[in-house]
A and B are shown apart, each in its own frame.
Chain A
Amino acid sequence: MATNNYYDPADLRKFGSITEWSEELGTKFFDYYSKVFEEGALTAREKSLIALAVSHTEMCPYCIDAYTKDGLQRGITKEEMMEAVHVGAAIKSGATLVHGVMMMNKVNKLDG
């Protein structure tokens, strides 16, 4: 059903249907995706928190929805979730600020 919003929470449930228009690539993607989140050198719990932080830096509403719920299912506390979000935010703001060095280099070159 059409909505007036670009993002519809119900669309998250349809994510799997992307495979219908490209079975090979869709299947490969979902196989890869589920493999990535399996327990490995990192625990599935740690991966869930990383995914939550990245969901925020990517500002993906679907991902935030999914990985908040995933965290709750794993018993992750809201304090742990917020710390993960701050890690993402710190990297995001740091990534902005570190470009200040480029600005400083340019100023120094042109007007030093």
Chain B
Amino acid sequence: MLKLKTQSLHKRESELAQAKRQLEILSNGIFQGGDLPTFANKINETQQYPLRPKKLEILQINVGYMCNQVCDHCHVDAGPDRTEIMTKETMLECLEVIKKTSAHTLDLTGGAPEMNPNFRWFVDEASKAGIKDFIVRSNLTIIRANKKYHDLPQFFKEHNVHVVSSMPHWTRGKTDKQRGDGVFDKSITALQALNAVGYGIPGSDLRLDLVYNPSGAFLPGDQNSMEKDFKKALLEDFGIQFHNLFAITNLPISRFLDYLIASENYEDYMYQLVEAYNPAAVSNVMCTNTISVSWDGWLYDCDFNQMLDLKVASKVKHISEYNEETLSNRDIIISQHCYGCTAGAGSSCQGTVSG
């Protein structure tokens, strides 16, 4: 049994549950006073403002904010108390788009996407569209949360799903601190179950990648070095194998923003992000090749903008009126949280964005 760390900001009725309040914080203080440049001014230094989309590569669909975990730094503010779940009607609209999109990657996320009651039907239907890379972001513990989920590794295998899973550290202490007591042991068991059906084995087409994000107010280290450390420790201690590690920077929104403010780390963290700003990462940030779809069908430049309720700046704003050409002519909406994707080697849902 997992011990939930907390409740979502929404359940606690925190003011930070409101996107508007988060955006105010990100625009005031050190950015308003001029101590740090706004993201718009920063990218304008290298003539990269306004940020514009390139060829669409990734269609990311969030099928609901419900989750069996309440992780400290969740940018979705997900948890068991979130009831926003994509309906079958919206899924049908998504399927129409999946059939005709030029994107080569379909990326299902949540919450725990598996908790959507129509998840398996949706995966079954979506996999028929023949998209090259079909990702499901699984938090691992869901596989062990209930008997009805125990066969997920086999289900993923049958649909040739690319599994991407969060794993904050190779030690129990650091993992459970961020994600809740018992998460580490359940994650290990789930990874072993995935390995058992062929996921993550070197040379296997059944892709299993892990996502690392820091457990506190610091940036991720070098992705390749972290991957080596993860691989060594997980293999030696538990016989676990996986393909790649994606190192992702925590963006200062939602529960991570709440944590930064409560721990008095907010200003230092923003300084870290701005000091680590890498102009080379800007041209490859994920909002330039991604469309993010929310549980209720609205369209966003990325998952983070979705959580900040910053809908695309386009005539087309909903999956029901989806048009890739029209969407490609939009400006991408930015704010100071975007510094999280341009720090160091850059950060995206696929890990770093520059060498």
Contact = CB atoms under 8 A, between A and B. Distances in A.
A45 B225 contact: yes
The range of chain B's interface size is: 20 to 34
A77 B174 contact: yes
Most buried by B among A39, A69, A72: A72
Given A44-B225, A45-B225, A72 B173 contact: no
A73 B250 CA distance: 12
B29 to A, nearest CB: 15
A13 B271 contact: yes
Contacts of B169: 75
A34 to B, nearest CB: 14
Per DSSP, are chain A's interface residues mostly helix, strand or loop, or mixed? helix
A45 B212 CA distance: 17
A77 B218 contact: no
A74 interface: yes
Given A13-B271, A13-B275, A75 B218 contact: no
Interface string B266-282: 00100100010000000
A75 B222 CA distance: 10
Nearest to A69: B218
Contacts of B215: 72
B214 interface: yes
Interface in B131-149: none
B171 interface: yes
Q: Which of A72, A74, A75, A77 has the most CB of B within 10 A?
A: A75
Interface in A12-45: 13, 39, 43-45
Given A44-B225, A45-B225, A45-B229, A73 B214 contact: yes
Interface string B164-181: 000001110110000000
Contacts of A45: 225, 229
Given A73-B214, A75-B169, A44 B222 contact: yes
B221 A74 contact: yes
Nearest to B226: A75
Contacts of A9: 268
Given A39-B225, A72-B214, A75-B229, 9 more contacts: A13-B275, A44-B225, A73-B221, A74-B221, A74-B225, A74-B229, A75-B169, A75-B221, A77-B173
Interface of B: 169-171, 173-174, 212, 214-216, 218-222, 225-226, 229-230, 268, 271, 275
Top 8 nearest A-B pairs (CB, nearest first) are A73-B221, A74-B221, A72-B218, A69-B218, A73-B218, A75-B229, A73-B219, A75-B226
18 contacts: A9-B268, A13-B271, A13-B275, A39-B225, A43-B225, A45-B225, A45-B229, A73-B214, A73-B218, A73-B220, A73-B221, A74-B221, A74-B222, A74-B225, A74-B229, A75-B169, A75-B212, A75-B230
